[in-house]
Amino acid sequence: MSRAEVTELVVTRKLEKKLSWGAIAEAVGQSKEWTTAALLGQMTMTEEQALAAARVLDLPADAVVQLQVVPYKGSLPTTVPTDPLIYRFYELINVYGTTFKALINEEFGDGIMSAIDFKMDLTREVDPKGDRVQIVMSGKFLPYKMY
């Protein structure tokens, strides 16, 4: 079973069992954001986490093995995403990327925000004009070093 096949099976079983990502995350013992990323092929699970996911999703043993393999991260099928929701994040970076960079560099100096030492929280913000998506991202600042 390939990693892509595991991802397809995860999504299918989630739908069949009418589970939310949050419910699966609770069984795995991690945040819904990290667990979703892991089950969609972007993070590496421990054996314990993979077994917990397998129990709740009724996954076979070879899926448990694949969930523990270090993935090829950022593996969207195209350079510019075509899915409208994902494209909006691409658009957001195109519009605000230089602003993020300028403000981070002004506040912290020359460096980057880590996507490795990183956490995210996604919640619904109720608004009478239409509910809003609130995403809080927090990454460790990593300064460039002189050598």
Q: Where in the sequence numbering do the catalytic residues fall?
A: 88, 91, 114
66 close to 1: Cβ distance less than 8 angstroms: yes
Cα 26 to chain centroid, rounded: 16
79 three-state secondary structure: coil
Measured distance CA(8)–CA(3) in Å, rounded: 9
Structure letter (DSSP) for residue 3: H
Burial annotation 57-90 (CB, 10 A radius, 16+ → b, else e): bebeeebbebbeeebeeeeeeeeeeeeeeeeeeb
